[in-house]
Structure 1
Amino acid sequence: MVAPLSSWPWENLGILKYMLYAPFLGRLLFAKVQEDSINWCLHVLILCALRGLVYQCWASYSTMLFLTRNRRILQRGVDFKQIDREWDWDNFIILQALMASLAFYAFPSIINLPAWDTRGFIAILILHMGVSEPLYYWIHRCFHGHRPLFTHYHSLHHSSAVPHPFTAGNATPLEHLLLAAVTGVPMAGSCLIGYGSTSMIYGYVLIFDFLRCLGHSNVEIVPHRMFEIFPFLKYILYTSTYHSLHHTDMGTNYCLFMPLYDALGNTLNTKSWELQKKISIDSGKNGRVPDFVFLAHVVDLSSALHVPFLFRSFASLPFCTRIFLVPLWPLAFVVMLGMWAKSKTFLISFYNLRGRLHQTWAVPRFGFQYFLPFAREGINKHIEEAILRADRLGVKVISLAALNKNEALNGGGTLFVNKHPNLNVRVVHGNTLTAAVILNELHSNVKEVFLTGATSKLGRAIALYLCRRRVRVLMLTLSAERFQKIQKEAPPEFQKYLVQVTKYQGAQHCKAWIVGKWITPREQSWAPPGAHFHQFVVPPILAFRRDCTYGDLAAMKLPEDVEGLGSCEYTMGRRIVHACHAGGVIHSLEGWTHHEVGAIDVDRIDLVWNAALKHGLKPASGVVRQTQHPR
């Protein structure tokens, strides 16, 4: 049987729970029609919006790893399980809005509070320190001291391994009802003695939320020198480190915001300020060096809003354009202009795999900029700076995302390797695993394929690999010279399996299309019914034909033991990354010491594929089979 007040009554409503604000809006509109004075519903709605904004701003800041990576207390990422568990973190705002409406109906005189009364701020501070703090401390200890209370109620809050601003709101209805009482005592007391004001209520509630977010942010921002200059502040104001210790050592640090009551109750963790000082001092130093870096890039304005530090829940799902993003496009455009003018590569996410730290850095350039001739030099400069920075830090492998390794841009990374022959970091384009994923999607009985983008790095490797398997490859290219160059790379006995075609009509009887160059719906119409489009083209082609099937971009699913991964890679599902990303991961896990740039070594395709399977990676398509080179 479910314990009373351990679950939310609207937990099955999903996004429809926000309809609970509808009565407030209706009452506000009714008051406007009746030409009444400012309605109390307006204050409730404004306060709810401001509270949500406080939590969102703190959530964004704590996830901006390029600002906070050296100030993080727990060096772990928030994973998908925690994000899902905290999905409805804002339930308490709805609850307290409903409670506020009851308070206004019970005490209508609150509506007529003055805008400002200095005495109210002094009164509410005294009541908070003298009543709310010890009351919360006692309630909190009860939840930890009585096993049934902890099991049925407080364990939900502590199920979040890494504190996050949204973790502050992730609790049961009973806990939030008691927390509302804790916050309500100072406000009610100040109003009852005649010192209440509207600004006092706004200020107290928002400062209360601000400090709760501070404690759960997992980022230490309070300088240790402040406590050295004013030692008494140690007992007046807690820090993120102080509260994080409560999550790792639950028998200590129960206070709300004032460690004084932990000191009086003998529950103070003696490591609190020592650890806080260490983190504060180390904030100017580089933290743990990642073993592997994936150098990504922004695709377009919409996908730029998919970064984890904007909307955590949105980033934890595969990207798709949503209506709520439209108002943010102008902001994204302004940020794009700022990035274009002056910017540096920045860290956006990280995860741990087999004890090794993997990070994703982003080049501050949008997809269309890669195709502007005058932008190439600047883009290559950013990529080069990222590679050299990784080399200085001691990173072992850096993998280049799709457009960052464009052949016309830098020859698939060869530009940087040739320019800096003494690099210790290995530069990897990851296309070997991309080719392996595409090849292993083909059915074993395929005898003929049609290949567009046939003379690209991937097209060449796929053609040479398939011809060795005696698969006839129809290579679409207008250049006889480039075709013959690739054909001569094949062993003499397999060269006959490579066939040049110059028109899409030449593939009208071929049901296996491998698309490496964007094709229009008109060009797709030449495929016979039942054809399947495998693809390695960015962006993916439009699914125009209803009588054909379309494959996704080459991708691999990371092993189950990956830790701290809480965002999806563009349109990929959870724990699924592009094959070029996975190729860099395998390069790092295997400890290979060569650069993987330029042309793909066909003889290494099976080697890389089997290494990926050995380390627990799986193709996103679900097809898993060991392969051996035909020779």
Structure 2
Amino acid sequence: MVALLSTWPWENFGNLKYILYGPLVAQVVYSWAYEEDITKALWCLHILIICGLKALVHELWSVFNNMLFVTRTLRINPKGIDFKQIDHEWHWDNYIILQAIIASLICYMSPPLMRMMNSLPLWNTKGLIALIVLHVTFSEPLYYFLHKSIHRNNYFFTHYHSFHHSSPVPHPMTAGNATLLENLVLCVVAGVPLIGSCLFGVGSLSVIYGYAVMFDFMRCLGHCNVEIFSHKLFETLPFLRYLIYTPTYHSLHHQEMGTNFCLFMPLFDVLGNTQNPNSWELQKKIRLSAGERKRVPEFVFLAHGVDVMSAMHAPFVFRSFASLPYTTRFFLLPMWPFTFCVMLGMWAWSKTFLFSFYTLRNNLCQTWGVPRFGFQYFLPFATQGINNLIEEAILTADKIGVKVISLAALNKNEALNGGGTLFVNKHPNLRVRVVHGNTLTAAVILNEIPKDVKEVFLTGSTSKLGRAIALYLCRRGVRVLMLTLSVERFQKIQKEAPVEFQNYLVQVTKYNAAQHCKTWIVGKWLTPREQSWAPAGTHFHQFVVPPILKFRRNCTYGDLAAMRLPKDVEGLATCEYTMERGVVHACHAGGVVHMLEGWEHHEVGAIDVDRIDLVWEAAMKYGLSSVSSLTN
């Protein structure tokens, strides 16, 4: 049986819970539109603004916490947040709705207080003093006593507080993620100083706004996984150790749970003899190690931006959106101009940065981002700068001891750098292995094709992937209709095939040549008109970016080549563009396999057809799996 007040009344509403703000919004709109005295609804407006500011505080702290390129050397808990924790904290803002409801009820039930709210001065120094006194003498000791009591009462901890502590890695969103009962208590803790200052007749708007926002600011600070305070501050002013906690201080509470119970002031832990003896020593240790690389990744996936809208899919922008496959969210369009300006700034000044990370069998795997977007790779004057960034990333990886660096999408474009060949030839003594991962991409596509298929139609047939697919299939006795206008490129590929299989490669120049072929392998964008040549029942296998439109209802469409990471992956909390959770592009997976196998060769330039089956078997051995239902 569920414990009383351990769940939220609107738990099953999903995102419809925000309708609960509706009455407040309606009151403000109605008052402004139809009433002469709009001050009657000012208290509703104040509540809405404060709720918005509280949400903004959490979001800004989340942005800072997830900026690994800024915070990586100051992280307290080195582990990464996973999808499970993000889902667990998805409705972290329930408490804001609760506070809005309680504030509304108080104002409605107390007309004098409502009138007082509408006539509060902007500032009152006495109100600030009263609020500080009430916070120190009431809120801090009450929270400390209740918090410690809950931890020492098995029933209350198991049925209530364990929900908050089930987040393994503290995060600003963890601060608000608690049960209904706990947040009701927190409303009392945070509300008494505010109401008290108003009842004493010394309240002010600045005090109400400031305390409401600062209360959440401090809770986010404590749950941030980044140590922001310098140890020198506490050495210079030792008394601050009694007045303000640090992220390290509160993280120890989450790790050991038997110490550091205070709200914001460690003084009460000192008085209650519950302060962790390592609190300040650990804080100093973390700060002293700032700037030092704590661990070298074994594998790096060198990615790049796709477009301006998808940039908002980054975990340091909206972590909840980043945990879902990318899709265009039109309500984010107002942020497009700002994001575009950020993109221009990155173009001018930014360097390759740490984007995300996960751990696989004790191997640290990181994604680094080249600060360039898709369209920039096709600007002739930008190619040299992009290659310089990629080269710099490879040399950095080589210097710090990375084993494998895998190039994503356009970072390995043949026209840009020959699929990575440029860097390997320029730096023949690289210790880091440069990998384009396309061998596994080819393997994924080829293993989707049924064994009984005797003929396929291949577009993009003379590309790196197209060549490998054609040569592999012809060896299997499959007739490959290679769409290309270049006789020279076709014959070059045909001559690479064993003599006895060369006749299985057939050059075609028009789409109507495939009007009886039901297996299309698409490496070049197809218009709806070009798709119309495919017979009913055709399946479109794809390695074209972006994927073709699903125009034909009587045909089926495959997804881009991708693989699901093994189940024992840890700290993965970001979806790779449009991929499902736990799924990465095949070229990413190819780099992971290269690292796990400990292969010493570079995988650049043309795909070695003889290694396709070898790479596929290695991927299967390590627990990677294809996401296609067609895979053999």
Residue 62 of structure 1: aligned partner? 65
Residue 79 of structure 1: aligned partner? 82
Separation of aligned partners in 2, 1:386 and 1:324 = 35
The Cα of 1:192 is off from its aligned counterpart by 2.1
3-state DSSP of counterpart to 2:11: coil
The 8 Å contact of residues 450 and 630 in structure 2, kept in 1 or not, is answered as: no
Say whether residues 1:243 and 2:250 are aligned partners: yes
Q: Give 1:27's aligned amino acid.
A: Q
Separation of aligned partners in 1, 2:378 and 2:533 = 29
Say whether residues 1:210 and 2:217 are aligned partners: yes
Separation of aligned partners in 2, 1:195 and 1:279 = 42
Residue 439 of structure 1: aligned partner? 446
Say whether residues 1:232 and 2:214 are aligned partners: no
Aligned length: 625
Say whether residues 1:565 and 2:568 are aligned partners: no
- Percentage identity across paired residues of the two chains: 70
Residue 629 of structure 1: aligned partner? none
Q: Give 1:19's aligned amino acid.
A: I
Q: Give 2:372's aligned amino acid.
A: R
Separation of aligned partners in 2, 1:110 and 1:366 = 49
Matched ranges for 1:284-303 at <5 A: 284-303=291-310
Per-residue deviation, residues 194-220 of structure 1 (Å, max 9, x unmatched): 221111011111111111000001100
Say whether residues 1:468 and 2:503 are aligned partners: no
Residue 628 of structure 1: aligned partner? none
Please list every run of 5 or more consecutive structure 1 residues that lacks an aligned counterpart in the other structure. 626-631
The Cα of 1:36 is off from its aligned counterpart by 1.5
Separation of aligned partners in 2, 1:10 and 1:527 = 50
Pair 1:419–1:55, CA change in 2 (3 A): same
Residue 449 of structure 1: aligned partner? 456
Q: What TM-score do the two structures reach when normalised by structure 1?
A: 0.98
The Cα of 1:110 is off from its aligned counterpart by 3.4
Give the one of 361, 370, 381 matched to 2:368: 361
Matched ranges for 1:243-322 at <5 A: 243-322=250-329
Residue 177 of structure 2: aligned partner? 170
3-state DSSP of counterpart to 1:475: strand
Residue 93 of structure 2: aligned partner? 90
Give the one of 144, 149, 152 matched to 2:151: 144
The Cα of 1:342 is off from its aligned counterpart by 2.0
Over the aligned positions, Cα root-mean-square deviation in angstroms equals 1.0
The Cα of 1:262 is off from its aligned counterpart by 0.8
The Cα of 1:624 is off from its aligned counterpart by 5.3
The 8 Å contact of residues 449 and 631 in structure 2, kept in 1 or not, is answered as: no
Separation of aligned partners in 1, 2:133 and 2:630 = 66
3-state DSSP of counterpart to 2:73: coil
Separation of aligned partners in 2, 1:337 and 1:79 = 31
Give the one of 187, 193, 216 matched to 1:186: 193
Residue 24 of structure 1: aligned partner? 24
Separation of aligned partners in 1, 2:88 and 2:37 = 42
Give the one of 598, 602, 605 matched to 1:595: 602
Residue 11 of structure 2: aligned partner? 11
Separation of aligned partners in 1, 2:31 and 2:282 = 54
3-state DSSP of counterpart to 1:589: helix
The 8 Å contact of residues 618 and 624 in structure 1, kept in 2 or not, is answered as: no
Separation of aligned partners in 2, 1:249 and 1:492 = 69
Moved over 6 A (4+): none
Matched ranges for 1:320-339 at <5 A: 320-339=327-346
The Cα of 1:148 is off from its aligned counterpart by 0.9
The 8 Å contact of residues 444 and 626 in structure 2, kept in 1 or not, is answered as: yes
3-state DSSP of counterpart to 1:126: helix
The 8 Å contact of residues 104 and 111 in structure 1, kept in 2 or not, is answered as: no
Per-residue deviation, residues 49-97 of structure 1 (Å, max 9, x unmatched): 0110000000111001111111110011111011011110000000001
The 8 Å contact of residues 139 and 190 in structure 2, kept in 1 or not, is answered as: yes
3-state DSSP of counterpart to 1:69: helix
The 8 Å contact of residues 238 and 258 in structure 1, kept in 2 or not, is answered as: yes
Deviates more, 1:40-49 or 1:181-190: 181-190
Say whether residues 1:34 and 2:35 are aligned partners: yes
The Cα of 1:261 is off from its aligned counterpart by 0.7
Residue 482 of structure 1: aligned partner? 489
The Cα of 1:111 is off from its aligned counterpart by 3.1
Separation of aligned partners in 1, 2:287 and 2:331 = 38
Residue 49 of structure 1: aligned partner? 52
Deviates more, 1:252-261 or 1:100-109: 100-109
The 8 Å contact of residues 214 and 240 in structure 1, kept in 2 or not, is answered as: yes
Residue 222 of structure 1: aligned partner? 229
3-state DSSP of counterpart to 1:231: coil
Deviates more, 1:87-96 or 1:103-112: 103-112
Separation of aligned partners in 1, 2:127 and 2:239 = 25
3-state DSSP of counterpart to 2:461: coil
Q: What TM-score do the two structures reach when normalised by structure 2?
A: 0.98
Separation of aligned partners in 1, 2:566 and 2:159 = 32
Separation of aligned partners in 2, 1:193 and 1:506 = 87
